[in-house]
Each structure stands twice: as structure tokens, then as C-alpha cells.
Structure 1
């Protein structure tokens, strides 16, 4: 498996060669904990999510990716924000794809399943808000999570 390398406003970053609509999901349980994965491609903690497939809506992408990466079935409940900063690019070393950021972040609630790692996640767990800040996380993912915690009912554009 290749690696994922995020670049932000870096003059040494490779130039983007693709753009893929993607969804990330903040799944919140009844205790207020959020579902996080430890990514297998960069070892950082992140929200579940991924690229949209032909024939599905972006909320369907959010539900599918959450189930694939975490084992948790979820129901979308809201929108956190839309993130399309062209200064953020992601290199996938397996195929040299360099994506320009295009991520829509949803909120969701769990409706079934149990936290289960996948090929894309080495660890899956419910994390109390007070513990999220101590986890290693890419700058862009941290920004999404922090914005949710600052105003969980607001929509953010970034």
C-alpha cells in the first residue's frame, strides 16, 4: 500500500492532477464521543471518509465510507462545512495522484455496527472530545474537527 502525504501552502508540493469530490463524517454517539480512525496510509487519526463513486450522492458516499472504514452504520444528520482550498493537495504515492482538496464534512449518528478496523484503518474508536486534541492528526483534519467542536450546529465554508 502506498502512503498519503498532505501538503498545505507548500511551494515544494507536487502540482495537483485530479480533483475528487469526497466526504468526511463526524459520527457522534449518545455520549458525545466522535468516531475516529487511525489511517493505515499515514498513521494519523482522522474522520472516516473518502471519494465519491459514480452513481452515488455525497451523503451516500459518507455512509458507505463510514461503514467500510469503521464497521459503523451511520445516518447523516447535518453538514459541518465544505473544504476546497487549492493550497491543500494530497499525494497518493501508490499511483502518484495529487488531489486538490474537495471535501464536504457531514455530521451523522450511529445506527448499528461495532468499531472494526479495515484495510484503510488500523484502529477505530469512539473518542471523547477532551481526548481528541492529543491525537496526531493532519492539519486539515484537525481544522475540520475543531470547527465542529467550536460550533456543532453551524455550517462552515473553508
Structure 2
């Protein structure tokens, strides 16, 4: 009996180690409206601007996560994924946890409608030259600069 309990304990520790000691995968989206403006969301937790995005749910692929997060945070619909901009994996890029972020540029359309009011305070379209680069959360300045400069980054 004791051997069985130890076996379950070791199994439990392994599972918790896998869950809590490995990075979480997420996505960020550079949403581009038909007029060429770029959508940003203002986060409630720190009041800063960010690209829409979030964690990949179990069983989801990246395009599904992009579509879901766009609808939840902006109300906008994904029309077409344009390109992979980058993969960002530095352990300190997100102050909450170690996450790996897949950044894509996407054509979007529709009416702005914040559905996730717990996380998002505001959604706004910006001309590329007027993006609030000095008021961005996390590592979004780097991500947006990579997009604007046409780079594909693995960092």
C-alpha cells in the first residue's frame, strides 16, 4: 500500500512539474482593419496598450486561438492571417509567467465590441505612425517594431 501511495505521489509531482515548470503558449495578433489602421487593446491590470491575444486552450491550434481572442477582446472577426511575425520566448517577456508568444499579423473586420470586460478597458484603432509605443505593456514594443519593419523574429 505504501509503495502504491509513493508511486501516486511521484506521478503527481511529475504532472505538477510539467504543468508549472514549462512555458505556456500564447498568441498575439497585429489586427489590421481594411483602412490600414492597427487595433490595440488597453489592459485593465496595468492600464497599458497591448496587442490582442491570449493563451492557447487545450486542443486549440494557433488560428483558432487567434480567432477566439480577437472576438473576445475586440469583437472583430478574423478575415485572413497575413504572416507569422515572430516567436518570442524570453523568460522575462511576461511579468506573470514564462510564456512563449506566437505573433501573427491578420486582416480583421467588423464592429469593435469588448466582450472580455474583466481584462480589456478599451479598444482603439491607430494609424501605424501614431501607435503609443511609449505606453505598451510587456514586450509589445518589440513585437510591433518587428511587424512594422517587416521582420520575422525568433527570440
Q: Aligning the two structures, in what range does the TM-score lie when normalised by the shorter sequence?
A: 0.7 to 0.9
SS at match of 1:23: strand
The answer to whether structure 1 residue 88 and structure 2 residue 93 are counterparts is yes
What does residue 116 of structure 1 align with? 113
Aligned pairs for 1:43-62 (under 5 A) are: 43-62=47-66
The answer to whether structure 1 residue 131 and structure 2 residue 136 are counterparts is no
Query: What per-residue deviation string (whole Å, max 9, x for no partner) do you get for residues 125-153 of structure 1?
Result: 111011104551125111100111111xx
Q: Rg larger in 1 or in 2?
A: 2
Contact 1:23 / 1:59 at 8 angstroms: preserved in 2? no
| 1:31/1:135 CA distance change after superposition, 3 Å | farther
| 1:41/1:137 CA distance change after superposition, 3 Å | same
Aligned-pair distance for 1:41? 1.5
What does residue 100 of structure 2 align with? 102
Indicate which of 64, 68, 75 corresponds to 1:64: 68
Contact 1:48 / 1:70 at 8 angstroms: preserved in 2? yes
| 1:136/1:89 CA distance change after superposition, 3 Å | closer
**2:134 and 2:121 mapped to 1: Cα distance?**
14
Query: What per-residue deviation string (whole Å, max 9, x for no partner) do you get for residues 94-126 of structure 1?
Result: xxxxx1131000111114x31122322111111
Higher helix share: 2
| 1:134/1:58 CA distance change after superposition, 3 Å | closer
Aligned-pair distance for 1:59? 1.7
| 1:25/1:17 CA distance change after superposition, 3 Å | same
Aligned-pair distance for 1:73? 0.7
**2:100 and 2:23 mapped to 1: Cα distance?**
7
| 1:85/1:39 CA distance change after superposition, 3 Å | same
| 1:147/1:53 CA distance change after superposition, 3 Å | same
SS at match of 2:129: helix
Contact 1:63 / 1:76 at 8 angstroms: preserved in 2? no
Structure 1 stretches of at least 4 aligned residues deviating more than 6 Å after TM superposition: none
SS at match of 1:78: strand
